[in-house]
Structure formats: C-alpha cells, structure tokens
Amino acid sequence: MLEPISQDLQPFNTLGLASFASRYVRLQSVGDLPALSRLVRQETQPVVVLGGGSNVVLPERLDALVIHVANQGCRVVHSASDHVLVQVQAGHGWHAFVLHAVAQGWHGLENLALIPGTVGAAPVQNIGAYGTEVARHVHSVVAWNFPDQRLHELQSDECGFGYRDSLFKRARPGDWLIVAVRFRLQTLWQPVLAYPDLQRHPLVANAGQALTADQVVQAVCDIRRAKLPDPAVLGNAGSFFKNPVVDTQQLHTLRQRYPDIVAYAQPEGRYKLAAGWLIDQAGWKGRRMGPVGVHDRQALVLVHHGGGNAAAVAALSRAIQEDIFRRFGVVLEQEPVNVTG
C-alpha cells in the first residue's frame, strides 16, 4: 500500500540542501506501479521523481508528490559468446552495479565507476566520464508513462540521447518513471583510455597489455577522489555546468584573446570548451557567496558549506553564468535539474 507521508529530503540530496516534501512515497517494487499510477491520477500537486538526489537542486518547500525510486535487483536476460544483456532495477546504486558488472566479467562501464546516484537516473542525463557515456551501453529503457499509464520499453535509439541529455531530461517533469535499464555489455575486455588523466595514472601506465578492468576502475576511482569533493563531507552535485559547444569561428575568436583556452574537437566542426577552465580563468575557484561557493580544487563544482538553500545556489549559478557570458560571450548551461513544486 502506497500512503504518502511528509518527508525531510535533506538526507536525500547530495548538495545537502534543506528541503521538505509535503507528500512522499517510496517505490520499492514494480508491482506497486498500478497503485502508484492511481495515486498520481488523483494527485492535485506536481509529481517529482527522485533517485539518489545527486543531480538535483531541491527547493526548501516542495509542494509535490515525490516518488523516491528504490526498487533493487539485477538479472541476466540473455547471454551470448561476446556479450550479455542485463536488466537492472532503477533504484539500484549505480556504482554498486558497475562493480558487480566488472566482477562478472561484463565490460563497458568501467570508466563510469563512482558516479553517485541510481541506475534509473543514468539514462536521464546520459551520464558520462573519462571518454565514455552510458548511452553506448544502454540496450533499452523500461519506463512507466504516467499520462498513458503504460509500461514502455524504449530502445536506445528511441531515447534521444545527447551530451548530458535524453528525452527523459527534456520531458515534462513527472511524465516518465524509469523502472529498469537493460544494458548490453561486452564479455571481451577492451579498455577505453583516450582520457589523458587515465593514461597517466600509474596503474594504467605501468600495466601495458596486462591492464585489467579492475585496475581501470581503481584508477578512475583514484582520479575522481583526488579531483571531486565527497558529498558526504561537502555538499555538491558534481559538475554544475555542461561544457559549452562552439563553432570554429567562435573558437578562433576566443583563441585570439585566450591562446590557452581548453577545447576538444567534436564532429561537424564543433568544439567543446572546458567550462571549468572558463570559470577558473574568471577567478571563481574557491570563491564563496554566503553558504555556497565554488570548490577550491575544481571550478566546475559548486559546493554547499551548510545553512544554504536553492535560492543561494541559484544566485551563485546566475552570477557565474553572467560573468562568463560577459567575458567570453559563451552561455553556460546548468547541469543539475532545478526541482520545483
């Protein structure tokens, strides 16, 4: 039986913002979907889907029905000589699943180790790190659609995946609830080592041809722990801005003024600028605005020192966006979702 309760959401968001939901339910099992759908049909307030809370900015008061996705589990749907098809429940921890996959000899997700959050949220912004994105390994997404009250299985090419983007991120909040994700993982180990930090890590640099998937996971975890603040110690939501994409002409103009600007070539004559470099150049690294600030080691990460709220985060985010636009003529797009209700 799903009975909404009021709930303190501070423990459920990695920024650690004070937030209180008027109505909250936990989805423990797919079997509860019809009852949940009935609840949503009768609901007069907006619907908010919450996973691990590591990519959201929550308001102090959330007058909404918050559905906390917590169904767990993983099963092999099909296995072949060179790959395996695995279905993982949406509430399963992402990093726990990556470790499980590596232990089983299923490959592809190693570079995405230690990203906080749940499996169900991974396709929402097409999580990516160290030269790979989850979309490359998603076979399909099993999702409940509240407007038509049906379970859909969307194939990877139907999910509208882009850079930190998908149709789920663009959809009206509360329309889709991802119930499970099916991954197609390789049984043949082929490391992805394009990212310079990874190539330089001693475990990788010294292993040569004998490099194992475990070692890559270990290297990725080491790099992430050195670069990113641990949300359990300092509230944050990871990278706060997407890397902006510009065309050749814009890059040429910027290079004339800033010869050191960091840019990565993309298809079709486009370039991804390192948002962290722009923010660092503008002098924001380590700066504070009251209870929130910019991390002192990673300019792309906004941090919450305590006692802050969504308005403080929004004020800092806006101040950075305006400054970057004034200096570089580049629009910074926020990565975490501003939840409203």
Ligand X SMILES: Cc1cc2nc3c(=O)[nH]c(=O)nc-3n(C[C@H](O)[C@H](O)[C@H](O)COP(=O)(O)OP(=O)(O)OC[C@H]3O[C@@H](n4cnc5c(N)ncnc54)[C@H](O)[C@@H]3O)c2cc1C
Active-site residue set? 164, 239, 335
- Give me the DSSP letters along 95-129: HHHHHHHHHHT-BS-GGGTT--SBTTTTTTTT-EE
Q: Is 112 helix (H, G, I), strand (E, B) or coil?
A: helix
Determine if 52 is a binding residue for ligand X (CB under 6 A). yes
Instruction: Give the type of residue at 101.
Output: A
Instruction: Give the type of residue at 173.
Output: P
CB of 62 to ligand X, least distance (A): 12
Q: Binding segment for ligand X among 120-128, 186-194, 240-248, 253-261 (CB under 6 A)?
A: 120-128
CB of 31 to ligand X, least distance (A): 16
Whole-number Å distance between alpha carbons of 132 and 266: 14
From candidates 53, 108, 276, 293, binder to ligand X by CB under 6 A: 53
Cβ distance to ligand X smaller for residue 127 or 324: 127
Determine if 55 is a binding residue for ligand X (CB under 6 A). yes
Could you tell me the sign of the dihedral formed by the alpha carbons of 38, 8, 26, 114, in that order? Answer: positive
Determine if 59 is a binding residue for ligand X (CB under 6 A). no
Cβ distance to ligand X smaller for residue 171 or 207: 171
Could you tell me the sign of the dihedral formed by the alpha carbons of 277, 278, 281, 283, in that order? Answer: negative
From candidates 121, 138, 159, 216, binder to ligand X by CB under 6 A: 121
User: Which residue intervals of 232-274 are DSSP H helices?
Assistant: 248-257
Q: Binding segment for ligand X among 190-198, 212-220, 231-239, 260-268 (CB under 6 A)?
A: 231-239
CB of 15 to ligand X, least distance (A): 8
Residue 323: how many CB atoms within 10 A of its CB?
16
Tell me what percent of the chain is helix, strand and coil, each rounded to the nearest 5: 30, 30, 40
Which residue's structure tokens are 């470790």?
99
Q: Binding segment for ligand X among 57-65, 109-117, 245-253, 283-291 (CB under 6 A)?
A: 109-117
Determine if 276 is a binding residue for ligand X (CB under 6 A). no
From candidates 116, 244, 308, 341, binder to ligand X by CB under 6 A: 116
